[in-house]
C-alpha cells in the first residue's frame, strides 16, 4: 500500500525494555516526511523522556509529540506510523477504558484529540520500516539532551525554519 501524503514515524528506546513499574529514561525519535513543503522536507527529532514507566508509555508520548508538531506545522493528510502493535491496536479501539498501563492515559487521550482534529490515520509498520525513528530514539536515550534536538533538510530556510516556533 502506497501512502499519499506526509508521514510521521515514531519510536522509543527504553532500558530495561520491559513492563517493570520502575521509571526509567527513554529516548524518543520522530522522523517526519513533509510532502507539502516544496521541496519535500525531512525532519529528524530526538528527545529524552524522564520517568517513562513502560515502552508503551514512551511510544504513546512519541505519538503525541509527533501529532502536536504536525498540527503546529499545519501539515494535513499525515499518516502516523509506529512499530508498536499493542499501541496501534489500543488506539484503534472504540472503547479505551482498558489501558495497558494507566500512566499513559494523558498521552493516548492527547493523541486521540489531535489526531481527530487532523483527521490523521495511524498504521502499524514493521520494525524494519521504522529504522530512522529507531536510530533517533537510541541516540536520544544515550545523549545528554535536555530539550528537543532537531534537524531539517531544508537548509535554505535557516533561522526562518517553520520548525523553530513549534519546538
Give the number of C-alpha atoms closer than 13 A to the C-alpha of residue 46, restricted to the C-beta side.
18
CA separation (Å) from 54 to 28, 35, 51, 57, 120? Answer: 13, 33, 9, 5, 25
Q: Which residue, 32, 44, 108, 112, is CA-closest to 73?
A: 32
Domain ranges for the chain, please list them.
6-160
Residue of 107, 71, 112 lying closest to 93 (CA atoms) = 112
Q: Can you give the C-alpha Rg of the chain in angstroms? A: 15
Give me the half-sphere count of Cα atoms (radius 13 Å) on the Cβ side of residue 41: 22
pLDDT tens readout for residues 16-64: 766 666 888 899 999 999 999 888 899 999 999 988 988 999 999 999 9
Which grid cell sits at 163? Answer: 520548525
- What CATH fold (topology level) applies to the domain 6-160? Nucleotidyltransferase; domain 5 (3.30.420)
Alpha-helical runs (H) found in the chain: 55-72, 85-92, 105-118, 131-142
Q: pLDDT (tens digit, 9 = 90+) per residue, 85-144? A: 999 998 988 766 677 677 888 999 999 999 999 889 999 999 999 999 999 999 998 876
How many Cα atoms sit within 13 Å of 135 on the Cβ side? 7
Prediction pTM value: 0.85
Amino acid at each position: 500500500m502506497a501512502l499519499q501524503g506526509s508521514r510521521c514515524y515514531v519510536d522509543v528506546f527504553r532500558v530495561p525494555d520491559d513492563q517493570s513499574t520502575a521509571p526509567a529514561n527513554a529516548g524518543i525519535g520522530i522522523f517526519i516526511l513533509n510532502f507539502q513543503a516544496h521541496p519535500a522536507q525531512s525532519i529528524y527529532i530526538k528527545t529524552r523522556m524522564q520517568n517513562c514507566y513502560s515502552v508503551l508509555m514512551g511510544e504513546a508520548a512519541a505519538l503525541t509529540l509527533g501529532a502536536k508538531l504536525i498540527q503546529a506545522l499545519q501539515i494535513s493528510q499525515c499518516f502516523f506510523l509506529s512499530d508498536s502493535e499493542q499501541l496501534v491496536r489500543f488506539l484503534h479501539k472504540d472503547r479505551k477504558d482498558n489501558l495497558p498501563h494507566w500512566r499513559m492515559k494523558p498521552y493516548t487521550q492527547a493523541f486521540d484529540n489531535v489526531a481527530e482534529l487532523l483527521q490523521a490515520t495511524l498504521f502499524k509498520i514493521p520494525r524494519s520500516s521504522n529504522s530512522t525513528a529507531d536510530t533517533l530514539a537510541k541516540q536520544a536515550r544515550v545523549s545528554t539532551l535536555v530539550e528537543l534536538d532537531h534537524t531539517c533538510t531544508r537548509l535554505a530556510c535557516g533561522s526562518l525554519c517553520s520548525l523553530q516556533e513549534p519546538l
